[in-house]
Amino acid sequence: AGSPVTLRNKPSARELWNSTISKLTDPVDPAFVRRFAEGWLSLPVPPAFFEAMVQESLKVPAHVWKAATASLLAEDHSAELDKIKALTLIIWGDQDAFTKSDQEVLTAAIAGSRFVVYPGAGHSPHWEEPERFASDLAALIETVAIVAKALPSRQARTPAG
Protein backbone atom coordinates (compact mmCIF):
# COMPACT_ATOMS: atom_id res chain seq x y z
CA ALA A 1 0.00 0.00 0.00
CA GLY A 2 1.50 3.29 -1.09
CA SER A 3 4.98 1.91 -1.57
CA PRO A 4 7.86 4.01 -2.84
CA VAL A 5 10.21 2.41 -5.36
CA THR A 6 13.06 3.92 -3.35
CA LEU A 7 13.46 6.69 -0.80
CA ARG A 8 16.75 7.83 -2.34
CA ASN A 9 14.95 10.34 -4.55
CA LYS A 10 12.63 11.65 -1.83
CA PRO A 11 13.99 14.91 -0.36
CA SER A 12 11.25 14.91 2.28
CA ALA A 13 12.41 11.50 3.54
CA ARG A 14 16.01 12.72 3.76
CA GLU A 15 14.83 15.87 5.56
CA LEU A 16 12.83 13.81 8.07
CA TRP A 17 15.95 11.70 8.68
CA ASN A 18 18.22 14.72 9.10
CA SER A 19 15.87 16.78 11.23
CA THR A 20 14.29 14.15 13.43
CA ILE A 21 14.76 10.40 13.03
CA SER A 22 18.58 10.44 13.13
CA LYS A 23 18.33 12.34 16.43
CA LEU A 24 15.76 10.12 18.17
CA THR A 25 16.56 8.88 21.65
CA ASP A 26 14.72 6.57 24.01
CA PRO A 27 12.05 6.87 24.99
CA VAL A 28 10.80 8.05 21.61
CA ASP A 29 8.77 11.24 21.94
CA PRO A 30 5.03 10.45 21.80
CA ALA A 31 4.39 13.77 20.03
CA PHE A 32 6.76 12.72 17.22
CA VAL A 33 5.06 9.32 16.84
CA ARG A 34 1.62 10.94 16.78
CA ARG A 35 2.68 13.53 14.15
CA PHE A 36 4.39 10.84 12.10
CA ALA A 37 1.27 8.64 12.04
CA GLU A 38 -1.10 11.55 11.44
CA GLY A 39 1.02 12.72 8.52
CA TRP A 40 0.15 9.63 6.49
CA LEU A 41 -3.62 9.99 6.85
CA SER A 42 -6.13 11.83 4.71
CA LEU A 43 -9.30 10.13 5.91
CA PRO A 44 -10.39 9.90 9.53
CA VAL A 45 -9.75 6.69 11.45
CA PRO A 46 -11.42 5.67 14.70
CA PRO A 47 -9.68 7.51 17.57
CA ALA A 48 -9.26 4.32 19.63
CA PHE A 49 -7.60 2.57 16.69
CA PHE A 50 -5.29 5.50 16.05
CA GLU A 51 -4.33 5.69 19.71
CA ALA A 52 -3.60 1.93 19.71
CA MET A 53 -1.30 2.37 16.69
CA VAL A 54 0.51 5.24 18.41
CA GLN A 55 0.94 3.16 21.58
CA GLU A 56 2.28 0.21 19.56
CA SER A 57 4.70 2.50 17.72
CA LEU A 58 5.95 3.87 21.02
CA LYS A 59 7.18 0.35 21.84
CA VAL A 60 9.70 0.64 18.99
CA PRO A 61 13.07 1.79 20.34
CA ALA A 62 14.90 4.71 18.75
CA HIS A 63 17.64 2.48 17.30
CA VAL A 64 14.99 0.53 15.33
CA TRP A 65 13.44 3.72 13.94
CA LYS A 66 16.94 4.80 12.91
CA ALA A 67 18.03 1.47 11.42
CA ALA A 68 14.79 0.96 9.49
CA THR A 69 14.83 4.48 8.08
CA ALA A 70 18.54 4.38 7.23
CA SER A 71 17.99 1.11 5.37
CA LEU A 72 15.03 2.52 3.45
CA LEU A 73 17.06 5.59 2.49
CA ALA A 74 19.97 3.45 1.27
CA GLU A 75 18.12 0.76 -0.66
CA ASP A 76 17.00 0.88 -4.27
CA HIS A 77 15.53 -2.30 -5.67
CA SER A 78 14.05 -0.70 -8.78
CA ALA A 79 16.29 -2.79 -11.06
CA GLU A 80 14.88 -5.95 -9.45
CA LEU A 81 11.18 -5.19 -9.82
CA ASP A 82 10.83 -6.99 -13.15
CA LYS A 83 11.94 -10.21 -11.41
CA ILE A 84 8.77 -10.30 -9.30
CA LYS A 85 6.64 -13.13 -10.67
CA ALA A 86 4.04 -13.32 -7.91
CA LEU A 87 0.57 -11.88 -8.35
CA THR A 88 0.91 -8.36 -7.03
CA LEU A 89 -1.71 -5.94 -5.78
CA ILE A 90 -0.61 -2.31 -5.63
CA ILE A 91 -2.96 -0.18 -3.54
CA TRP A 92 -2.54 3.57 -3.40
CA GLY A 93 -4.51 6.36 -1.77
CA ASP A 94 -4.77 9.23 -4.23
CA GLN A 95 -3.99 11.77 -1.51
CA ASP A 96 -0.59 10.17 -0.91
CA ALA A 97 1.65 12.68 -2.68
CA PHE A 98 4.73 11.00 -1.17
CA THR A 99 4.46 7.91 -3.41
CA LYS A 100 2.35 9.17 -6.32
CA SER A 101 4.89 8.76 -9.13
CA ASP A 102 6.14 5.46 -7.72
CA GLN A 103 2.86 3.65 -8.27
CA GLU A 104 3.10 3.93 -12.07
CA VAL A 105 6.71 2.69 -11.95
CA LEU A 106 5.74 -0.29 -9.81
CA THR A 107 2.75 -1.17 -11.98
CA ALA A 108 4.80 -0.96 -15.19
CA ALA A 109 7.73 -2.94 -13.79
CA ILE A 110 5.82 -5.79 -12.13
CA ALA A 111 4.25 -7.86 -14.89
CA GLY A 112 0.60 -8.66 -14.29
CA SER A 113 0.33 -6.42 -11.25
CA ARG A 114 -3.04 -4.91 -10.43
CA PHE A 115 -3.19 -1.22 -9.48
CA VAL A 116 -6.10 -0.05 -7.30
CA VAL A 117 -6.65 3.59 -6.33
CA TYR A 118 -8.50 4.51 -3.15
CA PRO A 119 -9.97 7.99 -3.74
CA GLY A 120 -9.52 10.28 -0.78
CA ALA A 121 -7.14 7.97 1.09
CA GLY A 122 -3.58 8.86 2.03
CA HIS A 123 -0.47 6.74 2.59
CA SER A 124 -2.27 4.33 4.93
CA PRO A 125 -5.33 3.04 3.06
CA HIS A 126 -5.22 -0.11 5.20
CA TRP A 127 -6.02 2.15 8.19
CA GLU A 128 -8.34 4.52 6.36
CA GLU A 129 -10.45 1.96 4.50
CA PRO A 130 -9.82 -1.33 6.31
CA GLU A 131 -12.91 -3.14 5.04
CA ARG A 132 -12.17 -2.33 1.41
CA PHE A 133 -8.48 -3.14 1.90
CA ALA A 134 -9.33 -6.51 3.48
CA SER A 135 -11.75 -7.26 0.65
CA ASP A 136 -9.17 -6.42 -2.02
CA LEU A 137 -6.54 -8.49 -0.22
CA ALA A 138 -8.94 -11.43 0.18
CA ALA A 139 -9.70 -11.28 -3.56
CA LEU A 140 -5.98 -11.43 -4.31
CA ILE A 141 -5.55 -14.42 -2.00
CA GLU A 142 -8.49 -16.15 -3.66
CA THR A 143 -6.91 -15.56 -7.07
CA VAL A 144 -3.59 -16.95 -5.83
CA ALA A 145 -5.40 -20.05 -4.53
CA ILE A 146 -7.16 -20.57 -7.86
CA VAL A 147 -3.91 -20.21 -9.79
CA ALA A 148 -2.13 -22.57 -7.39
CA LYS A 149 -4.81 -25.23 -7.85
CA ALA A 150 -4.47 -24.96 -11.62
CA LEU A 151 -0.72 -25.63 -11.52
CA PRO A 152 0.65 -29.16 -11.61
CA SER A 153 1.36 -30.19 -8.02
CA ARG A 154 5.16 -30.00 -8.45
CA GLN A 155 4.99 -26.40 -9.70
CA ALA A 156 2.66 -25.35 -6.90
CA ARG A 157 5.31 -26.33 -4.32
CA THR A 158 8.25 -24.72 -6.11
CA PRO A 159 9.28 -21.39 -4.57
CA ALA A 160 9.04 -18.39 -6.87
CA GLY A 161 12.32 -17.17 -8.08
Rounded to an integer, what distance in angstroms lies between the CA atom of residue 109 and that of residue 79?
Answer: 9
pLDDT, tens digit, 9 for 90 and up, residues 138-155: 999 999 999 889 988 655
Rounded to an integer, what distance in angstroms lies between the CA atom of residue 40 and that of residue 37?
Answer: 6
Rounded to an integer, what distance in angstroms lies between the CA atom of residue 37 and that of residue 135?
Answer: 23
Rounded to an integer, what distance in angstroms lies between the CA atom of residue 61 and that of residue 53?
Answer: 15
**3-state secondary structure at position 141:** helix
pLDDT, tens digit, 9 for 90 and up, residues 20-58: 999 999 999 999 999 999 999 999 999 999 999 999 999
- Predicted model pTM: 0.85
Rounded to an integer, what distance in angstroms lies between the CA atom of residue 16 and that of residue 33?
Answer: 13
